Amino acid sequence: MYSQQKIKMGNNILDQCISHAKIILNEYDICDNCTGRLFAKRMGSSSNQLLGKKIRNRLNFKSSKICYICKEIHSNLQSIVDRMLEQSSGYEFSTFVLGGILKPSIIDRDDLIRSKFKLQGIDSVKTGITKELSKKFAMKTKKKIDFLYPDLTFTYNFKNDSCELQTRTLIFSGRYVKKNRGLPQKQSSCINCNGKGCLQCNNHGFSNFTSVEGKIAKFLFEKFSGTQTKITWIGGEEKNSLVLGNGRPFFIKLYNPKKRVARLQKKYALDELEIHNLKIISKIPKKVISFRSTIKLSILTEQKLTQKSLEPLKTLKKISIEIFDKPNKKTQKSIYRIKFKKSSPKSFLIWIIADGGLPIKRFVEGNNVNPNLSELLGNKCRCKEIDFHNVDLLNI
Ligand SMILES: [Zn+2]
Ligand SMILES: [Zn+2]
């Protein structure tokens, strides 16, 4: 009884749609897809084309003219799907999304039909076309449509028949260990494009890979392909510093990767640089990351020293080091552990565990940092080497 009623109701809606369609189709030639789209929501139909065909068959409309709204875009979708397949070959992906740019005239004609015949709440011609294309592409590739985090984003421009492809940025976290001196942390930009990316630098924005940043980026380009990288450091060091122990943490974004599935090793050795614990993560933490560094300093002094003359260094433990950057800006950092040893009449070694971001050189020499080693010892101090033996994250 109930299902019979339902069929009857369904037929009633179909009848209503058919009589509504009759009025429209008497005036305009509209293809199956566009006709179906005008009534799909009312009919609860998932295929515009089948619904349109059904309506037009019932009305015996067999027009051979060009669709007034889409100008036959719908009958040319297969060639666009082929284009998308070609463009995405070589890319690893499991989800995608497609956006379209239509000629304004098509959108205008669709708007005209919708308002003239009071068709509310229906998909626009653009949605109709991109849905249809997406469906075809999904069927062909067995990949899923994902509007939020698609691996691939296609933009098809119907105005000039161009197809653009972007891939979702990959984000990595990891640590690096630098065992030899002389490698700068940051990579200088390509001189030709100033880092924007050009033909000369293969769109990477770097013309060589002669730094920690460059070597990590090159490793990712080789493994995942991609255009550019953007690195976030947890603290910094000089060209001549070593980074040992558990290494310095970093985050890096890789734009437009072609590959996105990889079994990552615990450790990669890239000449003088090692990458440890490289992982793909969903996002870079937004909060300020606190960390502590274990640092070994090799310090030269102007005057001779004795082990006893180094004793004042003990007072540095657990006191606040004040750093004056601008006239009214003061930051504070702490030192948690300290050990020291005279290494020659005019040099000593010092090991500290300190808050991340303590400006070491200034702390040694005394440039707007209070207390500082030169003042504390009454002996002008200079850094020979600053080596990082551990960097520990506190809030991750
Ligand atoms: Zn059409
Ligand atoms: Zn360039």
Burial class (CB within 10 angstroms; exposed 0-12, middle 13-18, buried 19+) of 293: buried
Topology adopted by domain 170-281: Alpha-Beta Plaits (3.30.70)
% of the chain residues with pLDDT over 70: 97
Distance between Cα 67 and ligand 1 center (Å) = 5
The per-residue pLDDT for range 123-132, each reduced to its tens digit, is 999 999 999 9
Residue 125: exposure state from Cβ atoms within 10 A (0-12, 13-18, ≥19): buried
Strand 95-101 to 144-145 pairing: parallel
Residues around ligand 1, an ion, CB closer than 5 A: 31, 34, 67, 69-70
Q: Residue 138: left if φ>0, alpha if ψ -120 to 50, beta else—which one?
A: alpha
How far away, in angstroms, is 174 Cα from ligand 2 center?
Answer: 27
The two three-digit tokens of residue 183, written as one number: 């490698």
- Per-chain mean pLDDT for the chain: 93
Residue 231 has pLDDT above 70, yes or no: yes
Assign domain 74-167 to its CATH superfamily: THUMP superfamily (3.30.2300.10)
- Sequence-separated (6 or more) residues with CB below 8 Å from residue 110: 34, 69, 124, 125, 126
Q: Give me the pLDDT at residue 60, please.
A: 86
Q: Please give the average per-residue pLDDT across 229-248, as a whole number.
A: 96
More confident residue, 25 or 14: 25
Ligand closest to the CA atom of residue 203: 2
Of the ligands numbered here, which is closest to the C-alpha atom of 68?
1
What does the alpha-carbon distance between residue 146 and residue 164 come to, in Å, rounded to a whole number? Answer: 17
CA of 386 to the centre of ligand 1 (A): 70
| Helical residues (DSSP H) of the chain, grouped into ranges | 2-27, 32-43, 48-59, 77-88, 104-116, 125-141, 212-224, 360-365, 373-377
73 CA from centroid of ligand 1 (Å): 7
Q: Tell whether the model's pLDDT for residue 1 goes beyond 50.
A: no
**Terminal-to-terminal C-alpha distance of the chain:** 62
- Tokens of residue 101, six digits: 């740019």
Beta strands 229-233 and 144-145: pairing type? unpaired
Q: Any idea which ligand is nearest the CA of 77?
A: 1
Question: What is the per-residue pLDDT for 265?
Answer: 95
- Which architecture does CATH list for 291-393? 2-Layer Sandwich (3.30)
Instruction: Kindly identify the ligand whose nearest atom is closest to the C-alpha of 194.
Output: 2
- Report how far ligand 1's centroid is from the alpha carbon of 59 (Å): 17
Q: How far is the CA of 159 from the centre of ligand 1 (A)?
A: 16
Identify the CA nearest to 339 among candidates 350, 327, 323, 324. 350
Task: Please choose, from the candidates 269, 288, 265, 348, the residue with its C-alpha nearest in 3D space to the C-alpha of residue 313.
Answer: 348
- Asked if residue 10 has pLDDT above 80, the reply is no
Q: Which residue has the tokens 């002094």?
A: 301
pLDDT tier for residue 396 given thresholds of 50, 70 and 90: confident
* Cα 13 to ligand 2 centre (Å): 61
Per-residue pLDDT, averaged over 265-291, amounts to: 94
Quote the ligand 2 centre to 189 CA distance (angstroms).
8
pTM of the full structure: 0.86
Q: Which ligand is nearest to the CA of 56?
A: 1
Pair 106, 71: CB distance under 8 Å: yes
Q: What are residue 305's phi and psi, to 5 degrees?
A: -135, 165
pLDDT score recorded for residue 272: 87
What is the residue whose two structure tokens read 């300093």?
297
Asked whether the predicted pLDDT for residue 102 surpasses 80, the reply is yes
Q: What sections of 142-242 are H helices per DSSP?
A: 212-224
Residue 381 pLDDT more than 70?
yes
Cα separation, 251 vs 170, whole angstroms: 11
CA-based R_g, the chain, Å? 33
- Tens of pLDDT, residue by residue over 286-337, are 998 999 999 999 999 999 999 899 999 999 987 899 999 887 888 999 999 9
Sequence-separated (6 or more) residues with CB below 8 Å from residue 43: 13, 14, 17, 51
